[in-house]
Structure 1
């Protein structure tokens, strides 16, 4: 179920901000690319080896199947793992068929969650003994190591997240949570006007269930509020929805993702 208290217009704004955040991240790299169509479709190539961060994405309430099909023919997508993404769980048959024609037949849901920020988000970290600080590109190696451990993947595939052009970007902030100097979690925020996107919440297995991921998330919200953000947005895994709901996020809608 989704939370209907958030207005459709607010969700539309947040969906477009999510796309703007990914476009900002992608084009911070030399080989990144983004283009936008007139009917809400984007082609995104970040270079990250993750289908969620490359592909053809519609942020319109009603995706334009023709525009998506035209963008899906782009040769730029041939060099990356990519996806087709639309808002909502009901997907037009032509979009399903188009995704299948490109070998993208696996279908999954991505919960899209929003939180209205207020002065209460300026509080201290929510886990005892944890300190969360912003890190820049000169600490990219340690950030990458912790993030890779949290996602339980090979470290080299996370290099794209720690380029100085990303970590030192004026609108992007990377955070490292530490306990007695030991890194225990990562987070990442992207400021888009008066909204902030929350990304890269990663906690290595040995440090889980202590509230460190929540503390790292709270740091993103706190700093963004101080910078003028009043709404936070994120994509959660289905299992992660209750954790974010405990922090005040609302499930506004599910997006549908097609991958190979």
Structure 2
């Protein structure tokens, strides 16, 4: 299947490029295979953030294995990420590295032709772009939102991240107190949405939806025609209410937890 017959390859390629850019800044450990498969090592102790990502609908097991071999032995948790159901060859390659746990994540897409999502009315909530001197606050809030130790997202405190074109970090605040986060990566026609969190004591009040809407509107204002994200099971209905639709699934292959 070529890219002309595979419109989602552009979306997944943009997703892979975000990881490549972040890894290039954080650790310098990023490379790309001849067929477009990306290896990106962020340095964070999270498997999904140290990944080999294949944007093609028919991933090359040989290219995945070649990239995996360049990092052997892997000192960090890592993952192989492919579209749809992994082929037996890809599954075999992953198993050879001890990666046998499969998790599906829905790829959700929204187009600017649907119009802008309406701005939600959430009393007192302010969603703003984070300046470089507040990246530490942002990273700590992301960690709290995901319920992980702060050091997990230490890579997001690197001031060089703001040099990546199209990357923006968002905090949602009530009376100046952070209650949620988000991140956008705009490149050409694509606006990727990441790190949507709401702190545990502030959930089910519409804050996550408000953050997402703000980032979608910002991405379209910056010239993107397509917004995309990979959703959690909890988040999928929220994104659907904004106009996102599930187009396919990403399979993330990791070592058993």
| TM-score (normalised: structure 2) | 0.91
Q: Deviation digits for residues 30-57 of structure 1, max 9, x if unmatched?
A: x132222222322111212221121222
| 2:246 is aligned with 1:236 | no
Partner Cα separation in structure 1 for residue 120 and residue 220 of structure 2: 15
Displacement of 1:253: 0.5
Displacement of 1:259: 0.4
RMSD of Structure 2 on Structure 1 (CA): 1.9
Partner Cα separation in structure 1 for residue 115 and residue 68 of structure 2: 43
Does the C-alpha gap of structure 1 residues 77 and 147 become closer, same or farther in structure 2, counting only changes over 3 Å? farther
Partner Cα separation in structure 1 for residue 19 and residue 232 of structure 2: 18
Displacement of 1:75: 2.3
Listed as ranges, the matches of 1:32-71 within 5 Å are 32-71=28-67
| TM-score (normalised: structure 1) | 0.90
Partner Cα separation in structure 2 for residue 166 and residue 176 of structure 1: 16
Mapped contact 2:127–2:170 kept (Cα < 8 A)? yes
Q: Any stretches of 5+ residues in structure 2 without a counterpart?
A: none
Q: Any stretches of 5+ residues in structure 1 without a counterpart?
A: 1-6
Does the C-alpha gap of structure 1 residues 77 and 231 become closer, same or farther in structure 2, counting only changes over 3 Å? farther
- Aligned residue number for residue 205 of structure 1: 200
| 2:30 is aligned with 1:20 | no
Does the C-alpha gap of structure 1 residues 215 and 167 become closer, same or farther in structure 2, counting only changes over 3 Å? farther
Q: Deviation digits for residues 178-223 of structure 1, max 9, x if unmatched?
A: 1222211110001111111101111111010111111111221122
Q: Deviation digits for residues 98-121 of structure 1, max 9, x if unmatched?
A: 111101111111111111125843
- Equivalenced residue count is 252
Partner Cα separation in structure 2 for residue 136 and residue 247 of structure 1: 27
| 2:161 is aligned with 1:144 | no
- Secondary structure at 2:180 match in 1: strand
Question: Which deviates more, 247-256 or 165-174?
Answer: 165-174
Displacement of 1:76: 6.2
